[in-house]
Amino acid sequence: MESELFVGLDAHKKTVVATVLDREGNRVDQSTLGPLDSQLISYLDRLPGRKHVVLEACSVWEHYFDAVASTGAEVTLAHPYRVRLISEASLKSDKADSESLAELPRLRGIPVAYAPDPEIRALRQLVRDRWFSKREESGIKSHIYSILLRKGIPYDDGLLGQRRKREELRSHQLPQVDRGLDALTPVLRHSLTENLR
């Protein structure tokens, strides 16, 4: 009969604490790994049998999730708030958290969080990047318009959306406007590139 192991990963930016339990809940191993995917892959590859791996949905889950999946282990993303409700412990540490996560698949009690596939994640990131660029662009434009208003320089609506007219503002020789235009140029270029994808 193939051995079966349950692995809880308490993942952070600089470390991953892994706890491995067997079917009876005995601790087989507990290790602190570095942040590299290769370290996690190597660690999991050394473990025998079928592996059920759980990690919480946190800011760094994606690359750890993909690393685990690449080993052929079954990997589940757990909902962090519901995990906290299930495993309210008086002792809170990375080791205790990883052990609690390892218990969840063993007891069939994982509060599953949705883990989108890489294509969906890439599309979501594209939308976030686009939103960030548009917000940055809007802020810079508002700043430049406010300077023009304070200096009593008349301008047409939408002036900053027209490259030639936008560059004509440099003739006023206002350093704060020039800095704003310098900052706006790469943002607009990035925004245009995103539109062409």
Same domain (yes/no): 22, 102: yes
Listed in sequence order, the DSSP H helices in the chain are 37-46, 61-70, 80-86, 94-106, 118-150, 163-168, 175-196
Same domain (yes/no): 35, 87: yes
Token readout for 64 is 């750890």
How deeply is 136 buried, as exposed, middle or buried, from its count of CB atoms within 10 A (0-12, 13-18, 19+)?
A: middle
For 52, residues 6+ apart whose C-beta sits below 8 A from its C-beta are 4, 5, 6, 7, 73, 74, 76, 105, 106
Same domain (yes/no): 21, 58: yes
Same domain (yes/no): 122, 57: no
- Domain membership of residue 111 (yes or no) is no
The CA distance from 19 to 1, in Å, is 22
**Number of folded domains that form the chain:** 2
The CA distance from 33 to 39, in Å, is 7
Q: Which domain holds residue 160?
A: 118-196
More confident residue, 108 or 44: 44
Share above pLDDT 90 across residues of the chain, in percent, rounded to a whole number: 41
* C-alpha torsion sign, points 61, 63, 67, 72: positive
Q: Which of 78, 106, 134 delimits the end of a domain? A: 106
Same domain (yes/no): 51, 77: yes
pLDDT above 70 (res 57): yes
Same domain (yes/no): 66, 94: yes
**Confidence grade of residue 66 (pLDDT, cut at 50, 70, 90):** very high
Same domain (yes/no): 99, 44: yes
Instruction: Give the tens place of pLDDT for each residue, 120-158.
Output: 988 988 888 888 888 888 899 999 999 998 988 888 888
Closest CA to 28 of 49, 7, 44: 7
Same domain (yes/no): 84, 15: yes
* Residue indicated by tokens 């320089």: 153
Same domain (yes/no): 139, 89: no
Enter the pTM of the model: 0.67
* CATH code at position 100: 3.30.420.40
The CA distance from 174 to 124, in Å, is 39
Q: Which of 106, 133, 168 delimits the end of a domain? A: 106
Same domain (yes/no): 22, 81: yes
Of 7-21, 46-60, 92-106, 135-149, the range with the lowest mean pLDDT is 92-106
Same domain (yes/no): 8, 89: yes
